[in-house]
Amino acid sequence: MFKKVFLLMIMFFGFLLKVRASELALTSKSAILIEASTGQVLYEKNSDEALPPASMTKIMSMLLIMEAIDNGSLKMDDEVVISERASSMGGSQLFLQTNEVYLVKELLKGIAVASGNDAVVAMSEKIAGSVENFVSMMNEKAKSLGLTNTVFKNPHGLDEEGHKSSARDMAIMARELLKHEDILQFTSIYEDYLKKNDGSSIWLVNTNKLVRFYSGLDGLKTGFTKEAGYCLTATAKKGDLRLISVVMNEPSSDERSSDTASLLNYGFNTTVLYKAFDKNTSLGAKRVEFGKKDAVNLSLKDDYVKVLSKNDDKPSYSFEILVDKLKAPLKKGDVVGKANVIDNGKVVDTVDVTVLEDVLKANLWDLFNKNLKSITGGKTKISN
């Protein structure tokens, strides 16, 4: 009883607790805490140890679903027919029946909230034609993300020999999934209902209790099997700061929640996000050859953001532009070169440079007009 009361205190009043990383006494076998926009690691414990991820596996499954939706090969309102294989799944399930039909968004909600194994198998078959093909896609995606401790054997996370991941790899997967922001409308649900084909409804309750009790927490995925223990990949946002935490192989669900809350509290209490440069700000203009415009404004491809301790002084950066000759046509957002980030006279980073506006290629009339203006000093205006 005392443990549960203390857990609630951590969830509700964690912002009052000032804990150093060295004081985090986690019961998990492995853990990590990162800042979402940069991926910077704020805390880690055995973060590269390969362990069974249980239903946290569904983070990768949801990532592939969201990619399919965002690239247009799948729609939220597409229908999915439940196969015999999907309906026969054990573990956490939505009790879907063979030949029932559901919408993608209904099954995605069932995966995100209730961790439905039957739902994720049905979606695997919808996207890839078979579970085996989908698992191959999962492993290919893991490889493309540089996940060195991850091998998937199934899309749901039930114990299977060789099915493994690590806290660091799970955090990277979660960070990639969060690029598809619509997933949060599902992972942030605490309870809802799924209407069945026969008119009845099944109550969906999120296995991640922190969605209800921890302010700002809106995902992502729990896991539990006998071999994996209790696991949780979580994300929370306060102000501009979004954190991702992972705990693996916890002895109980209470300790899973407690450790997650402790990690997030530590991050929010000690860390600030500093936008050192806004990507919409010009770093100066550069000449464009063969363009309708003579010059174009340059900027960084992305905001330049740094994660700082609340006790740190804000750094003062300068940017050295490394861009060769520019030729039209150019499109806003195109990478046209690099910039060195300089702090105290030293290059600390190198980032992409883009143009802030489109530049169309000049036609013959444009070139003639420019040449004539050059000859006349720009005093003669010629209309087309």
Residue 23 has pLDDT above 60, yes or no: yes
CA 217 to chain centre: 14
- Residue 2 has a pLDDT of 38
Rounded Cα–Cα distance for residues 219 and 234 (Å): 5
Predicted pLDDT at 20: 63
Q: Is 115 a catalytic residue?
A: yes
Q: What percent of the chain has pLDDT over 90?
A: 82
What is the rounded average pLDDT for all residues in the chain?
90
- pLDDT value of residue 17: 45
Is residue 46 within 8 Å of residue 160, measured between CB atoms?
A: no
CA distances from 357 to 292, 302, 348, 363, 368 (A): 12, 15, 28, 19, 23
pLDDT score, position 96: 95
Residue 24 has pLDDT above 90, yes or no: no
Rounded (10°) CA dihedral 346, 351, 353, 354: -160
Q: Give 144-166 as a DSSP string.
A: HTT-TT-B-S-SS----TT-BB-
State mean pLDDT over 161-168.
98
Among 194, 177, 112, 110, which residue's Cα sits nearest to residue 141?
177
DSSP state of 310: T
To the query of whether residue 55 is one of the catalytic residues in this protein, the response is yes
Query: Of residues 140 and 92, which shows the higher confidence score?
Result: 140
pLDDT in tens, 30-76: 999 999 999 999 999 999 999 999 999 999 999 999 999 999 999 99
Active site residue 379: no
What average pLDDT does range 307-329 have in this prediction?
92
Instruction: Given the residues 29, 45, 58, 126, select the one marked as catalytic.
Output: 58
pLDDT tens, residue by residue, 261-283: 999 999 999 999 999 999 999 99
Per the listing, tokens 């740190």 go with 312
Q: What is the pLDDT of residue 169?
A: 98
Q: What is the CA radius of gyration of the chain?
A: 26
- Alpha carbons 261 and 160: distance in angstroms, whole number: 29
Cα–Cα distance, 74 to 129 (Å, whole number): 13
344's CB contacts (< 8 A; 6+ apart) are none
Average pLDDT over residues 339-353: 95
Whole-number Å distance between alpha carbons of 87 and 76: 21
In this predicted structure, the answer to whether residue 369 has a pLDDT above a threshold of 70 is no
Domains of the chain: 2-273 (3.40.710.10), 278-376 (2.60.410.10)
As a residue count, the chain comes to: 384
- For 68, list phi and psi in degrees, rounded to 5: -65, -40
115, 165, 166, 299: the catalytic one is 115
Answer yes or no: is pLDDT of 291 > 80: yes
Q: Cβ neighbours of residue 308 under 8 Å, at least 6 residues apart?
A: 271, 272, 273, 274, 314
The 10s digit of each residue's pLDDT in 209-248 is: 999 999 999 999 999 999 999 999 999 999 999 999 999 9
**Residue 383 in this model has a pLDDT that exceeds 50:** no
Question: Angle at CA 368, nearest 5°, toward 365 and 370?
Answer: 110
Checking if the pLDDT of 21 tops 80, the result is no
